[in-house]
Amino acid sequence: MIYLCSSSPTRAMLLDKFKIDYIQKSVDFDEERIDTDDAREFVYLASKGKLQSAISLYGLDTPLLSADTVIVSDKKEILRKPKTKEEAKEILLKQSGSYISIISSLHYQSREFLFTNISSTKYHFKKFDNDKLEEYLDSNLWQGKAGGCMVEGFCKDYIKMVDGLESCAMGLQVEILKGWIR
């Protein structure tokens, strides 16, 4: 049994898919205070900050798992979680007909050890259909998603090529983590 220190339904679904027993216990960590333009450093610091918050809240009697994900445009720009529909549209248009790298960082800590991993998955997209993009924006499913992107949802129909683990792109590289969980 582990504590998943995230409120993400997608991360929970991935743990379910890989038959990993967990209890979901989210933590508060203000990612906005991280000041870096380096995507790998950002996700590392965000997932580490979430882990440190979880340790202070829950201790280490039960192993803790924290994670964070960012999307990086073809111009090396971090595409954060959009706050408004207009911002979501702007960010998604940067991905349309282009490629992105989705970078996920995880920290798994028990009393015995700490495992950290940063992985990346690259997606090449066809141009998004404008009407379907507007429907997606109206659905508000982009809210809380790095880059407003859902590779398991809206963006799925536009994927031309994938290089890396789909689970990493969904926010938790479970195939890599699984070997470290007892």
Where do the H-state alpha helices sit in 33-173? Answer: 39-58, 85-95, 130-139, 166-169
Nearest alpha carbon to residue 11 among 77, 105, 80:
105
3-state SS assignment for residue 23: strand
Which letter does DSSP use for residue 152 in this model?
A: T
Q: How many CB atoms lie within 10 A of CB 164?
A: 17
State phi, psi for 72 to the nearest 5 degrees: -120, 130
In this structure, the number of other CB atoms found within 10 A of the CB of residue 172 comes to: 29
Active site residue 16: no
Radius of gyration of the chain (CA): 16
105 - beta bridge partners?
A: 68, 118
Q: Do the Cβ atoms of 49 and 5 come closer than 8 Å? A: no
| Catalytic annotation, pick one of 16, 37, 38, 68 | 68
Positions marked active-site: 68
